[in-house]
Chains A and B, each alone.
Chain A
Amino acid sequence: GQQVMQIPQYQHVQEGEDFTTYCNSSTTLSNIQWYKQRPGGHPVFLIQLVKSGEVKKQKRLTFQFGEAKKNSSLHITATQTTDVGTYFCAGPRTGANNLFFGTGTRLTVIP
């Protein structure tokens, strides 16, 4: 069945260090979305990528969609304690019209 894996599952970084999470799909995706869930909170939409090779930036966050549209990455430059949370990627479910979520990467930032 369809799988969307994220690595790493957990990441601890010192404040100021960079962080990257990778999302790998077993199928080609028409688009990919990224969500952030703060501790004790609910997932909140960050961004959507649609085009092959697309790169988008939001301040210190850089999102990339792979050329084959089967993988994506989220890179955070100079992490801050406000970046703490779990980051999920999500893509359209094969043969259905809803989202299939990745396993998530939980980021801890040590002050």
Chain B
Amino acid sequence: DVKVTQSSRYLVKRTGEKVFLECVQDMDHENMFWYRQDPGLGLRLIYFSYDVKMKEKGDIPEGYSVSREKKERFSLILESASTNQTSMYLCASSLSQTGRTEAFFGQGTRLTVV
């Protein structure tokens, strides 16, 4: 069974802290994505990666960075957490770059910044 695993289900961090969200997939997928989910706004793409050490900005990259040192792992970094980054964060992976193959999602990390 395919699996995308996010390191934490719930996180509470203080304003200004550096936050790491980890995501691992076991499907040997080239493509990995970080989305943010907020009520009424759907899923918004933060960053994505098509290959190791490769990254591309999505719709809302400000305040975030990413790291992909290994094919199976894609990390999202909040350099200095702020309260407006309180949200649900979803990692996903897919086999193809074309948007024609399904995305597999992790269970999500609900981050609260206080």
Contacts and interface: CB of A to CB of B under 8 A. Distances in A.
Nearest to B42: A103
Interface residues of A, number: 28
12 contacts: A6-B42, A30-B99, A30-B100, A35-B103, A42-B90, A90-B103, A93-B99, A97-B96, A98-B45, A98-B94, A101-B42, A103-B40
Interface string B30-42: 0101010000111
Nearest to A50: B100
Interface of B: 31, 33, 35, 40-45, 48, 50, 56, 58, 90, 94, 96-100, 102-108
A85 interface: no
A103 B41 contact: yes
A31 B106 contact: no
Name, among B58, B105, B107, the residue most crowded by chain A CB atoms within 10 Å (CB to CB).
B105
B102 A45 contact: yes
Interface in A75-111: 88, 90-93, 96-104
Given A42-B107, A43-B90, A44-B105, A98 B40 contact: no
Nearest to A104: B42
Contacts of A30: 99-100
